[in-house]
Structure 1
Amino acid sequence: MKEVRLSCFTLVALIIMFLNHANSESQLLHDQEHQVLMRIKHYLQDPSFLSHWTPSNSSHCSWPEISCTNGSVTGITLVNLNINQTVPSFICDLKNLTLVDFSNNSIPGVFPNYLYNCSKLEYLNLSMNYYVGEIPHDIDTLSSLKYLNLSYSNFTGDIPSSVGNLKELRFLALQDCLFNGTLPDEIGNLSNLETLDLSSNELLPPSRFSLSWTKLNKLKVFYMFECNLFDEIPERIGEMVALEKLDLSQNNLTGEIPSSLFLLKNLSVVYLWGNKLSGEIPSKIEASNLTNISLSKNMLTGKIPEDFGKLQMLMEFKLNMNNLSGEIPQSIGSLPSLVDFRVFMNNLSGTLPPQFGRNSKLQSFQISSNNFIGMLPENLCYYGELLTLTVYENSLNGELPESLGNCSTLQNLKIWSNEFSGNIPSGLWKSPNLVNFIAHHNRFTGEIPDELSPSISLFDISYNQFSGRIPPGVSSWTNVVEFIASKNYLNGTIPHELTELPKLTKLLLDQNNLTGTIPSDIASWNSLVTLNLRHNHLYGQIPDSIDPLPALLELDLSENQFSGHVPSLSSRLTNLNLSSNHLTGKVPSEFQNSAFDTSFLDNPGLCADTPVLNITLCNSGSQNSSKDSSSWSLALIIGLVLAVSLLAIVVLFLVIRFIRKRKKVDNSWKLTSFQRLSFTESDIVSSMTEHNIIGSGGYGTVYRVNVNGFGFVAVKKISGNRKPDRKLENSFLSEVKILSSIRHINIVKLLCCIHNDDSMLLVYEYMEHRSLDKWLHKKIKPSSLSISGSVQHHHVALNWPKRIQIAIGVAQGLSYMHHDCSPPIVHRDVKTSNILLDYQFNAKVADFGLARMLIKPGELATMSTVVGSFGYLAPEYIQTTKVSEKIDVFSFGVILLELTTGKEANYGDEHSSLAEWAWKHIQLGSNIEELLDKEVMEPIYMDEMCHVFKLGVMCTSKLPDSRPTMKEALQVLLQSGESYSFGERNSVGQCDAVPLLRNSKREHKLDIDGDKLA
């Protein structure tokens, strides 16, 4: 018994010893991991967002960035924190790490292959960073990976075949990089893969890809937007039985849609839009889980299959811009989940299913440019969620559904060119969210209401049968930009309240029965571009107050009863017509030229000094002989005959052009996209109004356009109604070529280009804070921009931290162009007006119209002429017209000098610039502190501002070889807070001496006796 007790005692002792040992090991591991995490914090330079990572805190498993299993660190998540260092190389000292997520930061460099030491890694997300180079060919070392996301970075080349060896992979995202090589056939070996996203790249297909990809029989999500991987959709796609989401949009696919595609029972999303698919849509559809279908912008023919009416979960149904015919199946109108229905620009006909909107919360109903007849369904807004009703260019008739009058959510009403009649539902006029009310070319009757929705911007009721007066309540239409009521039966006078609309750019009231005079108090029409009151019964004198209107370009007052003299009008008018009135006196000299030869006809009391206006010549005194009179009469008759003939030709041309335009509204525009878009060319073109202009110059006009579902975009229009000159065309092509092939967070994103025979449009992401020069040099009014809900003064908004942030952003963009693009790209026009700022003051390089690709790094290219802006041009470029990356470095240096001094690039006398001014002060040994911008200079920023000023001076050295590269300049800016020795210390001011270049074989320092770097 004693031996048994001893054995039990021994066993208990052993268990206690084991537990103590285990606890000791667990505590040791915990302490080791805590030390690693503190090293990571120190490596990231003790950022404020990790202030809760403290040495004394032993419970690091409670930190939100850290996940633990059984007390050991298994995951680290540092997302969207603006980290600009590489992932720490010692991170794998966390031995149990399975998850690493450093997405949405600013991490530079190549793929961190030291992560191979994380032997248990299952989840790796490095997306949305600045990685460059290729994915390593030995990436399969990470054999346990289940999730790999490297998207939205700058990886190039091939996707390595070794990716196919990651057998455990469930998720692979490589979208929106710069891959331009081959997609390996070995991806078909990923038998466990559930999500594959290869969208927005320029990959080439392997020879057997169409056969191998069907081995991915667990694949649920497959995105290949803009990849151009194959010519046709393989019929064997039907073997991918687990497929749920398929996006093959904008891949130039041809052929027909495989009949097997819609037999996949798990399929929920199908995006095939923007291809060249032809033939009919497969009639047999068994994919009962389908929620989203977009087959738009193809060449599909035939009818809409009846089986679509069985899809009870279908929410988004887009077949627009095809060649479909026949009627819409009645069952589609009864689908219970339908939210977005688009079939515009087809050849569909018949009546519309009456149940549309009665069973589902319809938000968008777009059926324009078809051949539909009959009435609109009564219940389109039954659930009160309809946003867009677009039914123009059909043969719909009858009255609008009364229920639309209660549709408070409606934003866009586009019903023009139909046969609608009767009164507009009273509530529709006042729908609180309505922005576009476009109902021209119908048969509507009734009167214009006194109250209109306060949100309406475009109000077009022309070519209808409206009658009555323009109500005095028109003064409340404060957001109306275009008021178009041509060709109706409006009567009464033009109310003076109409002159109180501050945003009005277009007023068309022609071909009505208006009487009275033009109100004299029209000075508030500061934005008015077009005024057309033709063919009414207006009388009295044309008010002199028309002349000061600053934006007026088109004025038509013809076919009225105006009398008196022709007022002094601005010569900037591009279209003037005062014909068929009772005007008297002499035509002002500025209009006595052939450009206005039809502007003053049929005014018996008017005369001119020249016969080109085709009206009576003013009395010249003694030269009135019968012979002269006869000769003049003959000349007048001949002139009139020629003028009438010319007018007939012009009218015939305009009629033919109008008919062609009506037949094919937007088809003449061609859109080429470089990003995923949710809008069409018609959305852009239709929204480009004078009211939306935000800039103009020799390059053309820039518009700010609000696109539904996408937000604001910036549209640069090259040319107008004439063929663009060769320089503008070359600039357009250069910008498209370069911006369509590069992607970087600090380079403005080109979304698409749109063009027709007359004009070229470039559509960019919109930058809320416009250009840097407007903020830096006080070219922007404090009241014109609102930041975080409150208006702030420019120098407060652009403090030094924001300026250094901008400098780093510009440097990152230029460094990418010079060092990571192949071939390198030289911008040639780097200046503050070409640096755009988003809502957080992140900088993006813009305007690539003068940019050029070099043959290879450091290669000199010779230009035919010197182009650019004074103050930013490198001296060797001016002297030799030769360009290299170093001319951009010079321009960047000027921007650094502007950021630190607040002075403009052309600061100095008529022969000098800011760069020369800065060098002169350096050579004189001036105190640098006295040169800096006093508005932002604070003691805490002094050393850093001096540091950046010196870098600006180095970048503007006269000798190209003495300038740093953009990569070196970027490193200096990123390390500007660190303290290094400066080589030989020179007496250049009171600023602390700090190094300007470290990543080089030689030490750089300012040579005060010359203008070069030693």
Structure 2
Amino acid sequence: MLAKESYSCDTRCVLSFHHHKLKNSEFHAQARSTMTSSSSVLFFLSLFSVIPLSFSQQTQISSEKQTLLQIKNDWGKSAALASWSNSTFSSYCNWTGVTCSANGLVTQLELQNGYITADVPSSICQLKSLSHPDLYDNKIQANFPQFLSKCTNLQYLDLSYNVFIGELPSDINLVLPNITFLCLSQNNFTGEIPTSIGTMTQLQSLWLDNNLFNGTMPSFISKLTNLQQLALAWNSFIPGPIPEEYGTLIKLTYLFIAAANLEGEIPNSFANLTQSVQFDLSQNSLQGTIPPGIWSFSNLKYLYLYQNNLSGEITINNPFGAKSLVHIDLTKNQLIGPMPESFGTLQNLSILFLSENKFSGEIPAGIGLLPKLTYMRLFDNNLTGILPPELGKHSPLLNLNVFNNMLSGEIPANICYHGSFTELILSNNRLTGSIPKSLSQCPHLFYLEVANNQLIGEVPSGLWQMQNLTMAIMSNNKLSGELPSRLPWNLTVLYIANNMFSGIVPTSAGHLHKFKAGSNNFTAIPPGLITGMPQLLTLDLSENNISGEIPASIGSLKSLSMLNLSHNKISGKIPASIGSMPLAILDLSSNNLSDNIPSELGNVKFIFLNLSLNDLSGEIPSAIDSKAYDESFMWNLKLCSSISMNGVRMCHRRSNSSHGLRNLFIALGVIVFVVFAITMLCLMRDYRKRKDAFDPIMWKLTSFQRLNFTENSIVRGMTKENLIGTGGAGQVYCVTVDNHAGEVLAVKKIYNKTKLDMKVEYEFESEVKILGSIRHSNIIRLLCCISSPDSKLLVYEYMKNGSLDRWLLEKKRVLVGPAEAPTMSLDWPTRLRIAIGAARGLCYMHHECETPIVHHDIKSSNILLDEEFKAKVADFGLARILMKPGMPETVSALAGSFGYMAPECAYTRKLNEKVDVYSFGVVLLELTTGREAHDGGDHGNLAEWAWWHIKEGSSIHNCIEKGMRGTQCIDEIEVVFKLGIICTSTLPSTRPTMKDVLSILLKYDA
């Protein structure tokens, strides 16, 4: 799915990773293919087997076989080496991963993806002809094997995608004197890259990316004049410029230095790297313009410069003369200026990503003529003009996303000319005309988003017959016509609000979850709707012309949580079956409903209820006759309440008591009046203090975005019935405000108690300062703050699924969320998505804010989940903003939560963002083990317990929560467990950054 929401920071990072993964594997494969020729080896072996062997040759072969068996034994008899057996009749040269020369000597060991966990054994160097050991993607956790110096013929070494730790040998040039290919990617090597690597001039490929290297960017690598592949990406180098000397690496074809804290400009010397096939400096802090010479690289296929601060115009002479260019990605830069017409010269351009920039002007018409264009994403720019009319006609276009620009004109008629289209996202523009009929010829189209434009006419009928269509978002246009009775079977989301659709609401859509069709001209809800859409979660048909009654069978929608039928012409009774539904929001206002309100509605715990402006009668059922629903029943003249409710009369019961009894009541009334008068004198001062809390004049509202409610709505909703949590300084309420949408909010009330005045005031100002200034989809959204003389209110978005801890531990303790305990446990894919979401929020705080933010109290109860289990970091009461560059990068030590606090909190007041990394590591351990942060048994806490298991050599499998041990995801669960171990390292300097943590998690995001 590539919905607009999916193009927040989150999915773009995942997409970027997959591109890197593909290109990394491509180059690994190329490198390996040049080193092996197994078919020819087998041919020579078959010939060799029929020739009588000399005694010395037989002895030599026997020695090789015994060495292999010794290696197997040293490796702990891994299952990957099952074929290595003395009892097998086939030659050892046919054993898994073994390649021999013509005379039977082992030259290569390729044991990739072998699930080997033990250290590399020194016996491997007894294979005297071994030149090519490849241990890619195992689970080896050890220091760099220095004994490899005894492997005298090594030319190729791949230890990537393991868990190697520690520093590289300072004399690595002596350990690997003849190496030409060295790949150590995706490990946990630390420290600085040894300067001795600069003397290994025979190196052709050097892969050190995705480790924990620090120090400055190693300029001495420029001495490796034979280098063809260089990967230094995703390391925590000290922020600084790219060494200009790298421009001397004229044989370089592959450059990968993404996310390496690069600053300054791209050196002009890089124009000398004319052999470049891939050029990747993405996700750094580079400034300035792109050197003109880069556009003349004739072999260039991949250009990644996204997430930088590059500027200038792409208007150089013949800027894209690179005829072989197949992939350009400038996402998230600050490139300004018109897009060049010379894009038409890129005859092999396949993927064009220029999203999230400040591009202006029109999209060059020549882009529509590119013969190999498959992906084009230009969303979040300032583009004007029309979409290229030929777009899609001359290329197998799969994906187009121009969301959030100022484009006008019509959707190109041949957008799906080749029938291969999968995603079309055009929302938030000024497009006119109709949806082209050619979209009906897109059998693979699964996502369509054209909302917030000026489109007219009927949706092509064929579109509603496309069985792969899963999401259709067309709201806020002028589309018309009728919908078919049966919608596509796989359709899960249909948003068509604010259009001119008419007729009867569709009756069948087997997998539809969300149907929003408000503000149209629908006239009826057929009874068949109920049985034909069994998986509905949201149904909004407000502001239509629907008449008739609500079908009684509506109660069979057992998953429906939101029902809005307001502002229609619906009559009859409210079905009692609604009381059996899991509704959170019910809006039936502004209709012609009559008779009594069914008592069964009291069985539902509504977050929002609105039955106003109908013709209801009788008494409000006692279960919902509450101040929590103070404005839910207004303008029902025949309805009454047993309490004083806004817009509803009181119920008056006729008294049949005797005259004497009436006198008794009068006497009692006099007594009560006297007591009341005395009490009033005593309470007058308290009243004067307390009235301020309910006097709108005394409340000061500070908003951080456009609001659809007032402070009065918030204050009125803070009733006992709406209290959902308590904390050290106040309470949390779930408040439904009285706006048209019935918006649900979470309100955190902080009291100004005498003892806590200074502390609470500081926490309040801290939270407001931070949350009011940042915007991220994985950080709780602060809408406004409200102050009065005796209390302060923070108004947040409401998170339906509460806090993570109650889902992991099945508790009823919540921070912001419903009071019920969870009825199900979280599966691993959901846990992983939660971890990624929280990591994105922290990564934004640490690396993307103008001044880095440290949370200081990361824990599972401060990670909140919305209705789709999207994670958001919350509770910034202890957060602090780090000093700006040039000032001491420390903050005062503050109390956190036991089990989550980093060790340095106990002995120093100088802390940095690594305290958040430690706490997040504990959350990862909770997600994988199912244990609480303080549950470490004899070892104190969970982090110490996990470290003890690793130290003792215990199986990680036994540490995983029992319910997840038998799943297909067990490998990635164990990886995340190990990542939690790394994050909770005792020394802050050895912990990864949140950027590193997020990168690792994204690799396992489906």
Aligned to 1:532: 564
Partner SS state of residue 408, structure 2: strand
1:314 positional shift: 0.3
Return closer, same or farther for 1:389/1:830 CA change in 2, 3 Å cut-off. Answer: closer
Alignment equivalent of 1:567, drawn from 580, 598, 601: 598
Letter aligned with residue 433 of structure 1: N
**Structure with the greater alpha carbon radius of gyration:** 1
Aligned to 1:82: 115
Say if 1:494 and 1:518, in contact at 8 Å, map to a contact too.
no
CA displacement, residues 469-504 of structure 1 (integer Å, 9 cap, x when unaligned): 124xx2x31210111111111113443433552221
Return closer, same or farther for 1:866/1:419 CA change in 2, 3 Å cut-off. Answer: closer
Letter aligned with residue 70 of structure 1: A
Distance 2:782 2:511 in 1: 33
Partner SS state of residue 186, structure 1: helix
- 1:14-413 correspondence runs (5 A): 23-55=54-86, 59-71=91-103, 72-141=105-174, 142-204=176-238, 209-283=242-316, 284-413=319-448
CA displacement, residues 601-632 of structure 1 (integer Å, 9 cap, x when unaligned): 22211233444413323336689xxxxxxxxx
Aligned-pair RMSD on alpha carbons? 4.9
Return closer, same or farther for 1:772/1:533 CA change in 2, 3 Å cut-off. Answer: closer
Distance 1:761 1:213 in 2: 51
1:560 positional shift: 0.8
Say if 2:80 and 2:116, in contact at 8 Å, map to a contact too.
no
Return closer, same or farther for 1:345/1:88 CA change in 2, 3 Å cut-off. Answer: same
Return closer, same or farther for 1:580/1:51 CA change in 2, 3 Å cut-off. Answer: closer
Identity of counterpart residues, as a percentage? 34
Partner SS state of residue 105, structure 1: coil
Say if 1:535 and 1:559, in contact at 8 Å, map to a contact too.
yes
Return closer, same or farther for 1:515/1:300 CA change in 2, 3 Å cut-off. Answer: same
- 1:987-1002 correspondence runs (5 A): none
CA displacement, residues 45-92 of structure 1 (integer Å, 9 cap, x when unaligned): 333432332336573222241112232211112222221211111211
CA displacement, residues 843-870 of structure 1 (integer Å, 9 cap, x when unaligned): xxx9999999xxxxxxxx999687579x
Moved more, 174-183 or 25-34: 25-34
1:352 positional shift: 1.6
Normalising by the residue count of structure 2, what TM-score does the alignment of the two structures yield? 0.64
Return closer, same or farther for 1:89/1:655 CA change in 2, 3 Å cut-off. Answer: closer
Aligned to 1:521: 553
Return closer, same or farther for 1:584/1:363 CA change in 2, 3 Å cut-off. Answer: same
Aligned to 2:586: 555
CA displacement, residues 917-941 of structure 1 (integer Å, 9 cap, x when unaligned): xxxxxxxxxxxxxxxxxxxxxxxxx
Letter aligned with residue 403 of structure 1: S
Partner SS state of residue 547, structure 1: helix
Say if 1:470 and 1:492, in contact at 8 Å, map to a contact too.
yes
Gaps of 5+ in 2: 1-50, 656-661, 663-694, 710-724, 733-743, 751-758, 768-775, 784-795, 812-820, 830-855, 865-872, 880-891, 901-905, 907-914, 959-1006
1:254 positional shift: 2.1
The alignment covers a number of residue pairs equal to: 720
Distance 1:346 1:247 in 2: 22
Distance 2:726 2:57 in 1: 70
Moved more, 94-103 or 54-63: 54-63
Letter aligned with residue 253 of structure 2: K
Distance 2:169 2:502 in 1: 74
Say if 1:596 and 1:613, in contact at 8 Å, map to a contact too.
no
Letter aligned with residue 138 of structure 1: D
Say if 1:754 and 1:760, in contact at 8 Å, map to a contact too.
no
Distance 1:505 1:434 in 2: 18
Letter aligned with residue 264 of structure 1: F
Alignment equivalent of 1:618, drawn from 618, 641, 651: 651
Moved more, 250-259 or 153-162: 250-259
Letter aligned with residue 62 of structure 2: D
1:119 positional shift: 1.7
Return closer, same or farther for 1:784/1:512 CA change in 2, 3 Å cut-off. Answer: same
Alignment equivalent of 1:444, drawn from 473, 479, 482: 479
Say if 1:828 and 1:851, in contact at 8 Å, map to a contact too.
no
CA displacement, residues 87-142 of structure 1 (integer Å, 9 cap, x when unaligned): 11121111111111112112122100000111210110111212111111111111
Return closer, same or farther for 1:79/1:458 CA change in 2, 3 Å cut-off. Answer: same
Distance 2:381 2:458 in 1: 29
Letter aligned with residue 312 of structure 1: Q
1:722 positional shift: 4.9
Alignment equivalent of 2:637, drawn from 575, 579, 604: 604
CA displacement, residues 874-927 of structure 1 (integer Å, 9 cap, x when unaligned): xxx9xxxxxx9xx99xx99x99xx99xxxx999xxxxxxx99xxxxxxxxxxxx
Letter aligned with residue 66 of structure 2: Q
Aligned to 2:985: none
Say if 2:76 and 2:118, in contact at 8 Å, map to a contact too.
no
Return closer, same or farther for 1:428/1:564 CA change in 2, 3 Å cut-off. Answer: same
Say if 1:316 and 1:340, in contact at 8 Å, map to a contact too.
yes
Partner SS state of residue 72, structure 2: helix
Aligned to 2:954: 973
Aligned to 2:3: none
- 1:578-593 correspondence runs (5 A): 578-593=611-626
CA displacement, residues 359-398 of structure 1 (integer Å, 9 cap, x when unaligned): 1111101112112222111111111111110011112111
Return closer, same or farther for 1:528/1:21 CA change in 2, 3 Å cut-off. Answer: closer
Distance 2:161 2:827 in 1: 29
Partner SS state of residue 35, structure 1: helix
Distance 1:79 1:755 in 2: 42
Distance 1:98 1:559 in 2: 81
Say if 1:262 and 1:282, in contact at 8 Å, map to a contact too.
no
Letter aligned with residue 587 of structure 2: D
Distance 1:905 1:292 in 2: 45
- 1:688-767 correspondence runs (5 A): 721-722=746-747, 753-754=778-779, 756-757=781-782
Say if 1:829 and 1:851, in contact at 8 Å, map to a contact too.
no
Return closer, same or farther for 1:773/1:827 CA change in 2, 3 Å cut-off. Answer: farther
Distance 1:271 1:382 in 2: 29
CA displacement, residues 204-231 of structure 1 (integer Å, 9 cap, x when unaligned): 3677x53211111111111112111333
Return closer, same or farther for 1:452/1:752 CA change in 2, 3 Å cut-off. Answer: closer
Distance 1:303 1:226 in 2: 27
Distance 1:449 1:697 in 2: 50
Return closer, same or farther for 1:357/1:123 CA change in 2, 3 Å cut-off. Answer: same
Aligned to 1:662: none
Aligned to 2:962: none
Return closer, same or farther for 1:274/1:21 CA change in 2, 3 Å cut-off. Answer: same
Say if 1:245 and 1:268, in contact at 8 Å, map to a contact too.
yes
Gaps of 5+ in 1: 1-19, 624-644, 660-695, 702-718, 735-750, 788-825, 835-845, 853-860, 870-876, 878-883, 907-913, 916-954, 978-1014
CA displacement, residues 344-365 of structure 1 (integer Å, 9 cap, x when unaligned): 1111111221111111111101
Return closer, same or farther for 1:347/1:51 CA change in 2, 3 Å cut-off. Answer: closer
Distance 1:170 1:388 in 2: 41
Say if 2:779 and 2:874, in contact at 8 Å, map to a contact too.
no
Return closer, same or farther for 1:771/1:613 CA change in 2, 3 Å cut-off. Answer: closer
